[in-house]
């Protein structure tokens, strides 16, 4: 029994680690598309969602054909699903993609990784969950680390781009935090697979409507390499990691998953340096270490 538990824990850790690394590649692929193929923010988001959609539809169909009878969603649950799908996969992604027009992939990932602290603050304000002393310290450490990553850009006169991009990425982290809080309430009631699939379908519809209303161009005028990258981003940086991390959380719990997920910013910075030739300064190294330290402290407290 003990051996089986150890094996399951190892499987869960591998799933979360793999999912976090795959998620981390999204920022690099988005930035690469911007630089080399000049795909605008909204078309890029639409292509990502449209390439992801068939996989979620198939997974949902397979799930619905299982012998286990699932309780239909109530009207209230559908309303929550519409809200969370719009917030989590539409607004959070839109702000993230916009922000990457202004900041590097490494800085984007560090700011985005503040979402555990935002979850903590929102939960304290609206759900009346008390913040412990160690969590206050962790918040201070994490935000100090983000400030450190800004210093190189401030020195070379990119204040406007830095402020605009950072604000957009922070909005992405904030909306993603809202999504996590809401999903934590809904997933136990309807299941991980149904929730993830429905949320993605809702988000895809909202993204397509946004594109139709705001764009006069065509989705079919880009180089074929841009579509290859969008497909890779959909499969390897959206569909696969979403289920890997959900499966890992089921095996090892959200606290342990948060700790292992700390590899995300590091993976992004390494990949950005390799594929995008982004310079990695000592200030950014210090900021990365400090941010990870703060996130680990928050995750450790939550696990306790």
Give residue 58's pLDDT: 92
Tokens of 158: 């990119």
Quick check: 61 and 182 in contact, CB under 8 A?
Answer: no
Within-domain flag for 3: no
Mean predicted lDDT score pLDDT of the chain = 81
Q: With bands split at pLDDT 50, 70 and 90, how would you rate the model's confidence at 278?
A: confident
- Number of domains the chain is built from: 1
3-state DSSP assignment of residue 19 = helix
Within-domain flag for 11: no
* Boundaries of domain holding 202: 25-303
- pLDDT over 80 at 128, yes or no: no
pLDDT (average), residues 235-262: 76
Within-domain flag for 12: no
Give residue 62's pLDDT: 85
Which residue from 146, 142, 107, 173 is spatially nearest to 299, judged by alpha carbons?
Answer: 142
Give residue 295's pLDDT: 66
Using CA of residue 205, residue 230, residue 171, residue 132, what is the dihedral sign? positive
- Compute CA distances 177 → 92, 93, 170, 182, 263, whole Å: 9, 12, 10, 9, 19
Within-domain flag for 293: yes
- pLDDT over 90 at 232, yes or no: yes
Strands (E), 233-299: none
Tens of pLDDT, residues 20-41? 889 889 889 998 998 889 888 8
State pTM to two decimals.
0.78
63 phi and psi angles, rounded to 5 deg: -60, -40
The CA distance from 265 to 267, in Å, is 5
Within-domain flag for 2: no
pLDDT (average), residues 212-221: 83
- Compute CA distances 178 → 91, 115, 120, 126, 168, whole Å: 11, 9, 11, 11, 15
Tens of pLDDT, residues 133-183? 776 777 777 777 777 766 666 555 555 577 888 899 999 989 988 887 887
To 10 degrees, what angle do helices 282-303 and 105-112 make? Answer: 20
Within-domain flag for 4: no
């Amino acid at each position: 029994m003990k051996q089986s538990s150890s094996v399951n824990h190892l499987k869960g850790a591998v799933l979360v680690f793999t999912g976090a690394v795959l998620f981390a590649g999204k920022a690099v692929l988005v930035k690469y598309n911007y630089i080399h193929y000049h795909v605008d923010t909204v078309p890029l988001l639409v292509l990502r969602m449209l390439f992801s959609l068939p996989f979620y539809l198939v997974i949902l169909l397979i799930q619905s054909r299982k012998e286990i009878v699932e309780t239909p969603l109530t009207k209230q649950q559908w309303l929550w699903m519409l809200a969370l799908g719009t917030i989590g996969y539409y607004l959070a992604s839109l702000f993230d993609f916009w922000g990457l027009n202004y900041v590097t992939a490494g800085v984007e990932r560090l700011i985005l990784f503040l979402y555990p602290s935002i979850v903590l603050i929102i939960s304290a304000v609206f759900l009346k969950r008390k913040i412990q002393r160690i969590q206050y310290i962790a918040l201070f450490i994490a935000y100090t680390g983000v400030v450190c990553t800004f210093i190189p850009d401030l020195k070379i006169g990119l204040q406007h781009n830095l402020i605009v991009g950072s604000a957009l990425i922070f909005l992405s982290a904030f909306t993603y935090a809202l999504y996590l809080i809401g999903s934590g309430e809904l997933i136990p009631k309807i299941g991980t697979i149904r929730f993830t699939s429905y949320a993605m379908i809702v988000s895809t519809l909202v993204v397509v409507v946004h594109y139709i209303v705001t764009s006069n161009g065509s989705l079919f005028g880009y180089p074929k390499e841009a579509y290859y990258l969008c497909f890779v981003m959909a499969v390897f940086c959206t569909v696969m990691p979403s289920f890997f991390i959900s499966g890992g959380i089921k095996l090892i719990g959200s606290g342990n998953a948060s700790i292992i997920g700390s590899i995300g910013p590091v993976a992004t910075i390494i990949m950005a340096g390799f594929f995008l030739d982004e310079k990695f300064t000592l200030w950014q190294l210090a900021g990365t270490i400090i941010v990870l330290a703060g996130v680990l402290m928050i995750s450790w407290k939550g696990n306790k």
